[in-house]
């Protein structure tokens, strides 16, 4: 009995997303991560049509050690009017060395006649000839029936004929593709059940997300008998993306009880999703199901009160089953239970300390009215908590003053310069930093001032900077909120600053970011 296929196409279909450009080295790195997740197939690209993909396959067989996955090469059926054995792009698929070859085949009459500019009969011959040729060469052949569902609705008999042609020529799987992403779950379920009954072929599903239903459509196909699902990590793909493979696998495994990947591999899903984001340089989506940073984040006080009694009351699964964790978001919506649960995350037990809980909650609500936000700035909340509880966060320096100057001359770029004066380690320190803007200059000035006493600061990097303007009607006189993300190469944390002046707000967030980084590293006050 054949096993269920979890077929990843991040390296090919996912790489077509606007803003994503992956090198061969990137593709090798992503392949290793996909293998750790436990997918059965990794579609590496289109050798012969794309030089990077040709190089990827050439390097993969020497550099990749895969444990769960098999590499698949993607290509097309032979051209019209030429033997499959004489078609250079078909030969390139064989030359790639991939033991699995996935062919895109037209199954929509209009695409056959207008895009391929050939007849319906010749298209069927192109499918069967190419599959038979590659099968005879010892390759496992799969078919992506492109635009299948649209073609099926237009001409059911021809769409079925395309599936039969591939199946009878030796294709192991025919993946029915919702290429335009316009289908709904009921349509997919009915079509898959019909095709399966009419052809007896092993069916797969490949969905795009233009109706927001890619995962739901894929699940509907599985419920109708498909046992091969295609998708991409983090739902990458052109337009609105492909089915999110992690969401799909988690739904099938955790909700329907299917045994697709080993549980310890699924427990690595959050790490893998974020690691792929690092390689693609495409920011993780905080609201991504299962693995997003906000997937198990709770903000309302009512939720927190229930979670305090039993976390399962407001969570559909145990977050650890996908490598994620519950987070409490502290905001002006927060209740006492939220603050208590959030404090536990920092190793501070406020249970029974009603006076402290009330004081911290009142402070949070007061600051949020001024424009602060702590649901996106955990580090600032921990510092606030420790200060309010008089378990002061370490004060690594006493800042005397800071000053920023911007010098613009003629058509040259403006130069920013910041001077910071502070007392630390028993010394009065003064340093000046230059940067490509006032915040960059302040960052450099602060570091140069304190690094003399705290060399550990060199391990901290500012990696993100966001600005939000309040009371926009006040124009340049509006209140400004700044969020700064700082990293120590292992993890990152976010701090917030609010002021009428954007530079002052930035300074507050910068100083808290450095303070928190030193504190979490266990650096003592000197």
pLDDT at 238 over 70: yes
**From CA 289, how far away is CA 231, in angstroms rounded?**
15
Mean pLDDT of 371-376: 67
Q: What is the pLDDT of residues 178-223, one digit of tens each?
A: 999 999 999 999 999 999 999 999 999 999 999 999 999 999 999 9
**From CA 206, how far away is CA 221, in angstroms rounded?**
10
Q: What is the pLDDT of residues 23-48, one digit of tens each?
A: 998 999 899 999 999 999 999 999 98
Cα angle, residue 114 at apex, residues 75 and 232 outer, rounded to 5° = 35
User: Which has more confidence, 129 or 316?
Assistant: 129
**From CA 273, how far away is CA 108, in angstroms rounded?**
34
pLDDT at 333 over 90: no
Type and span of the H or E element at 424: strand 415-424
Which pTM does this prediction carry? 0.69
Residues 6+ apart with CB under 8 A from 231: 7, 8, 9, 207, 214, 215, 218, 242, 243, 244, 245, 248
Percent of the chain having pLDDT more than 90? 50
Q: Residue 392's pLDDT band (boundaries 50, 70, 90)?
A: low
Structural domains of the chain, with CATH = 5-280 (3.20.20.70), 297-388 (no CATH), 398-520 (3.30.160.270)
Using CB atoms within 10 Å of the CB of residue 93, give its burial: 0 to 12 exposed, 13 to 18 middle, 19+ buried. Answer: buried
**From CA 90, how far away is CA 82, in angstroms rounded?**
11
How does 117-138 read in b/e, with b if 16+ C-beta sit within 10 Å?
A: ebeeeebbbbbbbbbbbbbeee
What pLDDT score was predicted for residue 109? Answer: 93
What pLDDT score was predicted for residue 312? Answer: 65
Task: Pick the closest to residue 288 from 269, 313, 302, 265 (CA basis).
Answer: 269
What pLDDT score was predicted for residue 327? Answer: 60
Q: Residue 525's pLDDT band (boundaries 50, 70, 90)?
A: confident
Q: Residue 1's pLDDT band (boundaries 50, 70, 90)?
A: very low
């Amino acid at each position: 009995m054949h096993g269920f296929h979890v077929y990843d196409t991040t390296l090919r279909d996912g790489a077509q997303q606007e803003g994503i450009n992956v090198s061969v080295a990137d593709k090798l790195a992503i392949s290793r991560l996909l293998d750790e997740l436990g997918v059965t197939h990794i579609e590496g690209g289109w050798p012969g049509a794309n030089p990077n993909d040709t190089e990827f396959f050439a390097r993969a067989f020497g550099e990749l050690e895969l444990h769960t996955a098999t590499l698949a090469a993607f290509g097309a059926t032979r051209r019209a009017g030429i033997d499959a054995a004489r078609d250079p792009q078909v030969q390139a698929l064989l030359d790639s060395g991939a033991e699995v070859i996935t062919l895109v085949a037209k199954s929509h009459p209009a695409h056959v006649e207008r895009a391929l500019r050939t007849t319906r009969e010749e298209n069927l011959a192109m499918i069967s000839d190419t599959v038979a040729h590659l099968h005879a060469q010892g390759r496992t052949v799969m078919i992506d029936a492109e635009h299948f569902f649209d073609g099926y609705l237009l001409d059911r008999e021809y769409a079925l004929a395309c599936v039969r042609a591939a199946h009878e020529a030796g294709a192991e799987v025919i993946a029915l593709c919702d290429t335009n992403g316009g289908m709904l779950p009921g349509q997919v379920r009915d079509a898959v059940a019909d095709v399966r009954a009419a052809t007896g072929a092993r069916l797969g599903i490949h969905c795009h997300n233009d109706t927001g239903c890619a995962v739901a459509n894929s699940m509907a196909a599985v419920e109708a008998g498909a046992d091969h699902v295609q998708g991409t990590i983090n739902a990458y793909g052109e337009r609105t993306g492909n089915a999110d493979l992690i969401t799909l696998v988690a739904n099938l495994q955790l909700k329907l009880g299917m045994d697709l990947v080993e549980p310890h591999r699924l427990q690595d899903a959050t790490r893998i999703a974020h690691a792929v984001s690092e390689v693609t340089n495409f920011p993780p989506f905080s609201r991504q199901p299962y693995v997003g940073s906000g997937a198990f984040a709770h903000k309302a006080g009512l939720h927190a009160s229930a979670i305090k009694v039993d976390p399962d009351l407001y969570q559909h699964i145990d977050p650890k089953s996908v490598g994620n964790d519950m987070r409490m978001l502290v905001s002006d919506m927060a209740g006492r239970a939220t603050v208590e649960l959030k404090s536990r995350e920092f190793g501070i037990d406020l249970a029974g300390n009603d006076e402290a809980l009330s004081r911290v909650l009142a402070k949070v609500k007061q600051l949020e009215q001024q424009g602060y936000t702590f649901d996106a700035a955990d580090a600032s909340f921990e510092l606030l908590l420790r200060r309010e509880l008089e378990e002061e966060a370490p004060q690594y320096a006493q800042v005397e003053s800071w000053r920023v100057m911007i010098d613009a001359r003629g058509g040259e770029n403006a130069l920013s310069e910041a001077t910071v004066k502070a007392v630390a380690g028993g010394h009065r320190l003064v340093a000046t930093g230059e940067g490509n803007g006032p915040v960059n200059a302040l960052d450099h000035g602060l570091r140069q001032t304190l690094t003399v006493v705290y060399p550990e600061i060199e391990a901290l990097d500012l990696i993100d900077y966001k600005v939000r303007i309040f009371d926009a009607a006040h124009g340049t006189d509006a209140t400004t909120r700044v969020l700064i993300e700082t990293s120590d190469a292992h993890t990152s944390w976010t701090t917030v600053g609010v002021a009428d002046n954007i530079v002052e707000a930035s300074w507050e967030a910068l100083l808290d970011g450095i303070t928190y980084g030193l504190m979490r590293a266990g650096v003592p006050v000197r």
